Structure 1
């Protein structure tokens, strides 16, 4: 199976979700060592701010929670203990977003920074604002483990919506692909809305009205500054994750003389068609990675050197400075001069 970006073994996420599971299982009397068994993380590491974990490690703890807990609603309850402050700069950017739609756009674009265990899409449908959740890691939609991570995510989404709006917000309906479990009646209490089982898709549905709500901590200037940092974090993450990271690093080695996709594929001992297919499975492409490389180099040159705009344009392979200025404005919302001057 091709892995999506980031991969299961990329250690990119702080252990806050693990810590919540340790805490909530601890209230049932489960020892931290037992809930963390098989994850490669010990009770001290799960509290250390420098610890980073992979999706595979978090899944190991989810399996343990599923096996050890006597509470069938444990995943939803654990998810509702996750707050926007757990997500660092990613969460701060969400919190300061100017509008709900800005927050949605940010959440989807920078979602690799949150290292979620489920796929997520957003749509507006028949007067409803709809989050669709999918089995991104191919756990099997009929498996107990997928049900656990889905319910964990549903609880988390409810908590984050309330945090960002600054008040409780209830969905109008939740739909799941799996049939009604024995504790189906408890779902409506925990999720604060009607729940329909055995549906075509997993969906969290809100009234369309909440897209027009004012956000409690909206701050456009702060949002723009934090987003700039998240751009850097996302680029660094791509540079260290899977095949996309390998391609990123190959391109970074030849600034101004970037090899084309056929040359990169040859260096990796595969056809360009295979390379494109594998990158597509990571939700990216050669052209997207090349754009990230050019953007990162441009930012580094503007911040760390006195190179002129014309010289930077040439070093990045642009035909002239005007094309570079246009591209940089598209990437960052600022001209090279504004960026270098620190103008927000």
Structure 2
């Protein structure tokens, strides 16, 4: 067994293997060694060579590559460096579709529609309005610290660079909110993004003037845009076909704004019988209740990041019949009380699920 095949990490999130390959090539261009980057990822170079096979893999492999990259480079801020250096080709067909769009808003909508092609189900990006300002929110519940921060930094710095290429001028952000504590190199953020930066926010958000969305793009080309969008739709269908059933059900549950649907409702949405869904989840060593528990855990910990929400409010909003039951659930998930977990997260040490007290079957990040 090769070095890359050992210690694969399961997160429940998925990504195209070709994206891991693209990341390796970019990191190699920054002077890093690909075999070292793949150590512990569960993948080998042939798995991610970008061939014709649209293979979908667990995103834990990519998080491991990020961690290895930081360790190999000795630069904790490597995610920012990666995003700063990312060109249009980094984004594949989505990037070319966005470049060919008529307006910045059309380009943003393309990015939202096809976001799974770039970072799979690792995060969910959405566009909002807040008091007359635009806001792009990145919702995620990724495990770990180093790989997660690299991922978010890469997205944010890459967004800034790519939007510059889109509109032909530097994008002026109004505020950047980051859902992780300030790192040692925190002073780099306002220098790079040119706006006030708030760390340890409840969610990661880019705030900007909505006027930029109406701006006509200099490289607009309707024929090219349609052709690229067609390719993106074909690739998205390939991703959905390759996504494991457990990951697909988990994504459906996570995207549901109201009460969690029943197994029968999810089966209907997937176009299969409830027994078929049960069997396919069992074949993947999973089950519907486990996935519901994972999503409930992620939602609880995401809401606990917000210091403006009391523990009792979070418990009520998540449907727990009493705050005490919610406290017991959080302790079972993390090994800490809600208040302790919140303090540790804001201090930089509470983003992990405790190995000793994790729920059976839930991913644990070492």
Is 2:17 the counterpart of 1:11?
Answer: yes
Distance 1:44 1:277 in 2: 33
Partner of 2:136: 131
Equivalent residue in structure 2 for 1:22, among 28, 34, 52: 28
Q: For 1:119-146, what per-residue CA distance to the aligned partner results, in whole angstroms no more than 9, with x for missing partners?
A: 312112223221112224x315xx2332
**How high is the TM-score relative to the length of structure 2?**
0.60
Q: CA deviation at 1:152?
A: 1.4
Q: CA deviation at 1:211?
A: 0.9
Is 2:105 the counterpart of 1:101?
Answer: yes
Q: CA deviation at 1:188?
A: 1.6
Which ranges of structure 2 fall in alignment gaps of 5 or more residues? 1-9, 250-266, 281-286, 296-366
After superposition, residues 292-311 of structure 1 pair within 5 angstroms as none
Aligned residues: 259
Distance 2:34 2:279 in 1: 45
Which ranges of structure 1 fall in alignment gaps of 5 or more residues? 248-258, 283-344
From the superposition, tell whether residues 12 and 31 of structure 1 become closer, same or farther in structure 2 (CA, over 3 Å): closer
Q: For 1:72-102, what per-residue CA distance to the aligned partner results, in whole angstroms no more than 9, with x for missing partners?
A: 3211011122222222222211111111221
Tell whether the 8 Å contact from 2:134 to 2:208 is kept in structure 1 after alignment. Answer: yes
Q: CA deviation at 1:50?
A: 5.5
Equivalent residue in structure 2 for 1:241, among 233, 240, 243: 243
Equivalent residue in structure 2 for 1:111, among 85, 93, 115: 115
SS of 2:62's equivalent in the other structure is: helix
Partner of 1:75: 79
Partner of 2:273: 264
SS of 2:275's equivalent in the other structure is: helix
SS of 1:179's equivalent in the other structure is: coil
Partner of 1:303: none
Partner of 1:332: none
Distance 2:23 2:179 in 1: 24
Partner of 1:185: 187
**How high is the TM-score relative to the length of structure 1?**
0.64
Equivalent residue in structure 1 for 2:230, among 228, 231, 249: 228
From the superposition, tell whether residues 44 and 124 of structure 1 become closer, same or farther in structure 2 (CA, over 3 Å): same
Tell whether the 8 Å contact from 1:99 to 1:215 is kept in structure 2 after alignment. Answer: yes
Partner of 1:315: none
The RMSD of aligned alpha carbons is 3.6
